[in-house]
Amino acid sequence: MTAAGTEGAAGDVVAAAPDPDEAQRAIEYCYEQGWSDGLPLVPVSKPLLDAFLATTDKDPEEIIGSLEQVGRDVNVYLAAINAAMAGCKPEYFPVVLAAFEALMGERAARGGGFQSTSGPSPLIVVNGPVRKELGFNTAGGAFGPGFRPNATIPRAIGLLVRNGFGIHPHVLEQATQGLPGRWQVCIAENEEESPWEPFAENGGVAGGVSAVSATLTRTMEFVDNRHTPNHEDVLRDLQDTIGRIGSLIFPLTSVALVLCPEHAQMFAAAGMSKADVQNWLIERSGRTGAEFKSMGKAEVARKGFRGEYEGDDAFHQVLAGPTSIPVIVAGAKNAAISMVVRIFGEWSGTAVPVGEKK
């Protein structure tokens, strides 16, 4: 009764409606195995797995990530099952593979990132034609939710860490509080309204080519400034947030600046390139030694790691250079709201091209 078609009034064979009771049993089965991040999973069968594997030239056995400390490797086969479970469509799989490669290329992720008390979340950035081809959200609500590729691709990475690497909360994963949206952050750059080159181009992949970049983040803080026509006022507002002492634990930090189109266009109209915005903020983002000291963090205001305290009056810069402040443009051009994304460790910014099936 469930599998066969039923006869319509005109005698046509129409597909039977899926059996919800069977679907629920399959979903519960996945929960019982301990595979879920808390939300329902898509139970994966061999035909679905094959559809994923068919989107890539990679061998299912190819190892695409290793975590030496937990003694586990992840291969294409496991990535495909977890991506399917996360709710990805098969055609998203090359993006999942590129995102995982980009993330595992970062030292912070290969080190203790997934086990950390910081509970960091991947930030995945997608550039190029694949954004439109797969239906990524490139406009309003860039950080989600509401769009299948943006929502399911980072979830696939989260499930891969849980099931592939075996890093479970309260056991090998020791997040103190974690952050909202962990395993949910995948933004597609608003290249159409950005006044600058695509982000992936800064990471080594030419504009017009689909590519993914990824890092770990500790949180994101909004800067809402729709109050001034003066671009330097807005930069000062960003600088204030970047230098916030609560987010600083080492002498140097990294942030990703996710600018809304309105702010980005304002800076560009003032003649600023991405590099100009970066340099303006690098020079000015930080606090005085006294401010650090008053919060018990004098050791953070040192010249580099294990360096000397710079003194009460000395202004302590927290960004080392352009790689400490990558600039991305995302969101709708409907309000002047940008985001300072706190990077966990450092971000090389390397972009990984989305593999095409030959």
Partner 1 sequence: MPNAILDPTGTVTTSAAKQAAPRALRPASLQGKRVGLLINTKTNARPFLEEVGRLLEEKYDVSLTRRTKVNFAVPEPEDVIKELTAEADVVITGVGDCGSCSAAAAADGVVLEAAGVPVAAIITESFIPTADAMAALRGAPGYKYATTAHPVAVLTEDKVKERAARVLDDVVALLVEAPGTVDEA
Question: Which residue from 173, 189, 237, 310 is in contact with partner 1, where contact means CB under 8 A?
Answer: 173
Least CB distance to partner 1 at residue 53 (A):
12
> In the bound complex, what is the minimum distance in angstroms from residue 112's beta carbon to partner 1?
2
**Strand partners for 213:** 125
Interacting stretch for partner 1, rule CB under 8 A, among 92-100, 106-114, 124-132, 252-260? 106-114
Size of the site for partner 1 (CB under 8 A): 40
CB of residue 252 to partner 1, shortest distance in Å: 16
Phi, psi of 187 (to 5 degrees): -105, 140
Confirm or reject binding of residue 45 to partner 1 (CB under 8 A). Answer: yes
Q: Does 294 bind partner 1 (CB under 8 A)?
A: no
Alpha-carbon span 316 to 298, nearest angstrom: 11
CA–CA separation, 40 vs 152, rounded Å?
A: 12
Question: Which segments within the chain are labelled E, that is strand?
Answer: 6-7, 13-14, 63-67, 72-75, 121-127, 186-188, 211-224, 255-259, 286-288, 315-317, 327-329, 337-343, 352-353
- Judged by CB under 8 A, the stretch of 22-30, 122-130, 219-227, 263-271 that binds partner 1 is 22-30
- C-alpha to C-alpha distance for 147 and 95, rounded to whole angstroms: 15
Query: Binding to partner 1 (CB under 8 A): which residues in 46-85?
Result: 46-47, 49, 66, 68-74, 78, 81-82, 85
Residue type, 157: I
- The smaller minimum CB distance to partner 1, of residues 109 and 211, is found at 109
Taking the C-alpha atoms of residue 81 and residue 159, their distance in angstroms, rounded to an integer, is 10
Among 6, 33, 230, 294, binds partner 1 (CB under 8 A): 33
Q: Tokens at residue 130, please? A: 């694949």
Based on the shown chain and the rule CB under 8 A, indicate whether residue 248 belongs to the binding site for partner 1. no
CB 49 → partner 1: shortest distance, Å? 6
Q: What is the dihedral of CA 166, 172, 174, 180, to 10 degrees?
A: 0
Using the rule CB under 8 A, is 43 a contact of partner 1?
Answer: yes
- Choose one: 109-117, 124-132, 213-221, 322-330; the region binding partner 1 (CB under 8 A): 109-117
Task: Give, as ranges, the residues between 189 and 218 that touch partner 1 (CB under 8 A).
Answer: none
Question: Minimal distance in Å, beta carbon 246 to partner 1?
Answer: 16
State yes or no: residue 247 binds partner 1 (CB under 8 A): no
Which of these ranges, 124-132, 163-171, 198-206, 229-237, lies near partner 1 under the rule CB under 8 A?
A: 163-171
Residue selected from 116, 210, 213, 265 as contacting partner 1 according to rule CB under 8 A: 116
Is 350 in contact with 202 (CB distance < 8 Å)? no
Instruction: Specify the DSSP element, H or E, that contains 153.
Output: helix 148-159
104 or 205: CB nearest partner 1: 104
Helix, strand or coil, per DSSP, at residue 298 = helix
Which structure tokens are listed for 121?
A: 């979340």
Total residue count of the chain as it appears in this document: 358
Binding-residue pattern over the window 121 to 160 for partner 1, x denoting contact by CB under 8 A: --------------------------------------x-
106 lines the binding site for partner 1 (CB under 8 A): no
Q: Which of 175, 179, 209, 320 binds partner 1 (CB under 8 A)?
A: 175
8 Å CB contact between 305 and 251:
yes
How far apart CA 104 and CA 98 sit, in angstroms, is 10
Q: Are strands 327-329 and 255-259 parallel, antiparallel or unpaired?
A: parallel
3-state secondary structure of 302: strand
Which residues in this chain contact partner 1 in the complex, by CB under 8 A?
26, 29-30, 33, 35, 43-47, 49, 66, 68-74, 78, 81-82, 85, 111-113, 115-117, 159, 163-166, 170-175
